[in-house]
Structure 1
Amino acid sequence: MEELSEFAGKFSSENNIKNYDINIEGAVAKGENYLGEVVFFNITPKDSSKPFHFIRKKSKCPKDTKEKAAIRIASQREFYVYQTVFPEMKDFLKRHKTNSTMNILPEVYWVQEEENQRMMILENMKYSGYRMLDKKLQMNHEKVTLVLETYAKFHSISFAMKELEPEKFKRLTSSMDDVWCHFKSVFDAENYFGPLLRDVLKKLRENGRTDLALKYKPIEDDVENVVYIDVDPEDRMVVCHGDSWNNNMLFKNDEEGNPQSVCLIDFQISSLSTPVLDLCQFLLSAGDKEVLNNVEDYLKLYHQFLSDTLKNYEIDVSNLFSLEKLMNQWKKYANTGLVIAISTIQVSLSEGEEMPEDMNLLTYTDSSEMKNCDLFDRRVLDLLISFGEKYL
């Protein structure tokens, strides 16, 4: 509570609040966030005016040395993104007076760094009308379209900065190497992703698709290099979200209950990379069967959104990231998204009691032991069949 009291004193002084209470509203559920401790709280003035709602996000300090190192790097990255990258992007948008905004991200009110731990206090988007979807549910055309438009807006800022202010963009992103590779010692691909992939390919064979299972053999045999892929330098084009599953997206509906806007959260694994890594994890882990069967149409839709947004800067997308280049990068990196998507689907469909407390305890679990094993089987079979028939 000490850091909350310090923040509350600063916030109340800046907003002319003389007397107030600090109220803890709750915390994230077990297995929902392995990289940080998240607490929801509010500052309520005693003069009966409305409360102010916040989220405190604090990096974890695990005992395991390997996990601690990976989490420290991820925490440093998220702080750098919120403290430096996003403010620079906002200033860029102001300088170029475009219609683009950064309202797809929560506001950061306070940051505090100590030697081994970092803390941020952010806007609680729930009180601006945003909600997290049920992570067990797949997204339909309407929601997927909205997320792709959001990613196009987010990625377009990087493309525009790189084109219009190349030296500034280079300095801003020069330290943004791949965070995910530092988790190799925590998530041993051979002992985590490998068994999971063998598990689902067995289901594929049991359902009469031995032909497709054979096509996945090269991925199975090289799973570590597939999961921890080294993105080619020329493909590292934008600041990526890096963890594009449905728990890191908040939706706001209009008065009729239709999805209106999306807010992206959690940037611990953000890096300078190919936009395809954001797209493939999202589309393959969250899209429903209709989406999976029409992935290329959705890639074209993303590209059209990107083109439309870059026109605000008078930039022709074909000179920076043509549709052909997008499709070529999809073919190059989609296998990585596929394997991570299978893991993401398993996590999404796991009940709280099936998830370990700590990341270093997150090991391969036979999907037949899941409470939602039938739903998991259906979803991964839909994914493996549609992906295998199109791209293998």
Structure 2
Amino acid sequence: MKSDQSEQIRDSKNKNPIYVKNIVQRSDTSNNEILSNATEATKTTVTKIITVDTNVAESIISPSLSINNETTEITNIPENVMEALNTLVETKFSTNNFKYETLPVSGRGENSYGSVLQIKIYLNDNDQVKNNKDNNEKDDSHEIENIKDIKPNDQFYCIVKISPKNEARRQTMKVVEYYQRETYVYKNIFLEYMKLQSNNMTLQKNSNIFIYDDYEHEKKLIDLKIAPILYSSSNEPQNEFLLLEDLHQSGYLRYNRKNTVTYDHVVLAIKELAKYHALSFVLRSKNPQKFDDIVNNIRTDNLFSEALSQVSVEFGKKYMKAAIKMLETENQLHSRVLKNKDKIINSISVLYDNFKEICIKLVDGSAIEPYAAICHGDFWNNNILYKYNENNIPVSAKLIDFQMARYSAPVLDLVHYLFTCTGKQLRDKYFDDFKDNYYNELANTLRNFDIDPNEIFPRLIFENQIHQHGIYGFCMACYAVPFFISDSSDLPNLDEASEAMRELSESSSDDGECDEDKDLKTTALLEEYEMLNERTTPIFKERMVGVLIDLAKYNMLDSTFLKS
């Protein structure tokens, strides 16, 4: 494979407006062809050409990055992000003279909440990084001992998540709420969790930059460091962003969203999830007033609420109906499954007819107190990063993307993951094992804080939640699986889709329009953005029929939520 890279990098001192173009070129396409299709660059445009074999693109550039087979244009880093970046570099390295380049992390349609970029920072050669450890007077505002022995020529990476600007997309995708929620998780919930881990760990706050000032202590707590560090953020309308640690530099990679996970991936993911949930129970036990204050700020679910649009409801129901039809016409079912076929169809019919109402009840943590917890809310492949050993076996996992954090039954995250990211064969063999791994990790974490799991979250309660709330995994599969199995090139343009959804919503609010006309418009829109095609339909069928069969197998169809 040939590689042709022009290493033109933005200097931090350049004050002119600039556009960074990262053009990912397929190995069978010429540089000239790509450039001819690109928008004409301004005089301050930096262009980088990367020639890759698209079959192995993720491993060539960065296994954690999703690479499109099409030209990707990245707009300039916003001014407030640039200010945060300057503050971060100056805080870490005692210099504000650096260069940087960017690379897109997510492909088309893969992140509803904006652009995700990897920023690669180069410290300029003529600057000397100050080492405060050698100074007689300690300057804590510049010392970060968890990044040690940095040399001026070394590189530093971070990740920035930048909100979309299209107003229809911001409204439809609840962008403001999601950025506020994720920022709150980092700055409030994680802060309290770190306080729980040790009274000796201190955090310093400098322009919204959170700094660990005790490297040795942090190393001892690595088992509970389940997410990247937040360096800076803003919830300013239209300019929201989060500047985060790049976990890829520590060896954490994203798993291909289109593939079902292996046993090792599942065990690592659900153990980290169990730690995350356990810390919520610990906070409730150790500091109930603070816990209540936090829960009151996330009690309103930002996905399933009365504000859920009709087109969003119908999207989920569309693929629920498709899954049922596939089950009805499946002729190769095991005899045990055939006995449950009518029960599955009748139960899902109740869910279909009352979809929005049941989903709202499923996510209501207040209804199951004191056995509700602060949950991730969007727990699937793309929001988990894995670290591998030399034999390519996953050995560690981290959680990312907390914009949908909620207060609910902790098993919602578990069944969401198991029914959207694992295959039926794996569940058939290890479902009980997965439950044991999750619960044992949660119980052990509670015991580490001198809390009896039998009092806080008994195994019996956990099992009951699995049976009662298991159908939530199927609900999320109806939304998620069509996206998961699609190629990036097949995903809709989110700005265009959002504008169509807003137009439909505005026309549907017209009192003069009958319900039948509204339904016809909704159906037409969903057909326009059909997710399934000749390649993905058989995959969808295999995965969704497998989930339906497992709902019966694990007694989840007896849930009181399905009693009409």
Q: Is the TM-score greater than 0.5?
A: yes
Displacement after TM superposition at 1:328 (Å): 1.3
In structure 2, the residue matched to 1:13 is: 90
In structure 1, the residue matched to 2:415 is: 280
In structure 2, the residue matched to 1:195 is: 318
Q: For 1:386, which of 550, 559, 564 is the aligned residue?
A: 550
For residues 123-146 of structure 1, the C-alpha deviation after alignment (integer angstroms, 9 at most, x for no partner) is 111111011001111112211111
In structure 2, the residue matched to 1:130 is: 252
Q: For 1:240, which of 375, 393, 404 is the aligned residue?
A: 375
Bigger Rg over Cα? 2
For residues 320-352 of structure 1, the C-alpha deviation after alignment (integer angstroms, 9 at most, x for no partner) is 111110111122222122111232111100112
Match of 2:394, as an amino acid?
P
Kept in 2: contact 1:350–1:370 (CA 8 A)? no
Query: CA, structure 1 residues 88+351, in 2 after alignment: closer, same or farther (shift >3 Å)?
Result: same
Q: How does 1:14-33 map to 2 (within 5 A)?
A: 14=91, 15-17=93-95, 19-33=97-111
Query: CA, structure 1 residues 381+94, in 2 after alignment: closer, same or farther (shift >3 Å)?
Result: same
Query: CA, structure 1 residues 170+185, in 2 after alignment: closer, same or farther (shift >3 Å)?
Result: closer
In structure 1, the residue matched to 2:235 is: 113
Q: How does 1:52-91 map to 2 (within 5 A)?
A: 52-64=156-168, 67=171, 70-91=174-195
In structure 2, the residue matched to 1:231 is: 364
In structure 2, the residue matched to 1:155 is: 277
Q: For 1:213, which of 336, 345, 362 is the aligned residue?
A: 345
Structure 1: distance between partners of 2:170 and 2:360: 16
Displacement after TM superposition at 1:40 (Å): 1.6
Query: CA, structure 1 residues 368+355, in 2 after alignment: closer, same or farther (shift >3 Å)?
Result: closer
Structure 2: distance between partners of 1:141 and 1:187: 37
In structure 2, the residue matched to 1:43 is: 121
User: Which stretch shifts more, 277-286 or 8-17?
Assistant: 8-17
Kept in 2: contact 1:93–1:100 (CA 8 A)? no
Displacement after TM superposition at 1:108 (Å): 0.9
Structure 2: distance between partners of 1:248 and 1:66: 21
User: Which stretch shifts more, 371-380 or 285-294?
Assistant: 285-294
Displacement after TM superposition at 1:173 (Å): 2.2
Displacement after TM superposition at 1:90 (Å): 0.8
Partner SS state of residue 470, structure 2: helix
Unaligned runs of 5+ in 2: 1-76, 126-151, 202-219, 332-337, 502-525, 558-564
1:222 to 2:358 alignment: no
Structure 2: distance between partners of 1:34 and 1:368: 19
Q: For 1:348, which of 484, 488, 491 is the aligned residue?
A: 484
Structure 2: distance between partners of 1:62 and 1:389: 44
For residues 200-231 of structure 1, the C-alpha deviation after alignment (integer angstroms, 9 at most, x for no partner) is 11000110455333342222222222333352
Displacement after TM superposition at 1:198 (Å): 0.7
TM superposition score normalised by structure 1: 0.92
Kept in 2: contact 1:189–1:227 (CA 8 A)? no
Root-mean-square deviation over aligned CA pairs: 2.5
Displacement after TM superposition at 1:69 (Å): 7.5
Partner SS state of residue 167, structure 2: coil
For residues 173-221 of structure 1, the C-alpha deviation after alignment (integer angstroms, 9 at most, x for no partner) is 2211211125853463542111111111100011045533334222222
Q: For 1:270, which of 383, 405, 409 is the aligned residue?
A: 405
Query: CA, structure 1 residues 223+172, in 2 after alignment: closer, same or farther (shift >3 Å)?
Result: closer
Displacement after TM superposition at 1:7 (Å): 2.6
Q: For 2:393, which of 258, 261, 277 is the aligned residue?
A: 258
Count of residues paired in the alignment: 392
Match of 1:257, as an amino acid?
N
Displacement after TM superposition at 1:5 (Å): 3.0
Displacement after TM superposition at 1:387 (Å): 2.0
Displacement after TM superposition at 1:32 (Å): 0.8
TM superposition score normalised by structure 2: 0.65
Task: Considering Cα pairs closer than 8 Å and 6+ residues apart, tell me whether 1 or 2 has the greater RCO.
Answer: 1
Kept in 2: contact 1:226–1:335 (CA 8 A)? no
Match of 2:409, as an amino acid?
T
Kept in 2: contact 1:184–1:228 (CA 8 A)? no
Query: CA, structure 1 residues 116+374, in 2 after alignment: closer, same or farther (shift >3 Å)?
Result: same
Which structure is higher in helix share? 1
Displacement after TM superposition at 1:41 (Å): 1.2
Structure 2: distance between partners of 1:66 and 1:122: 22
- Overall identity of the aligned pairs, in %: 24
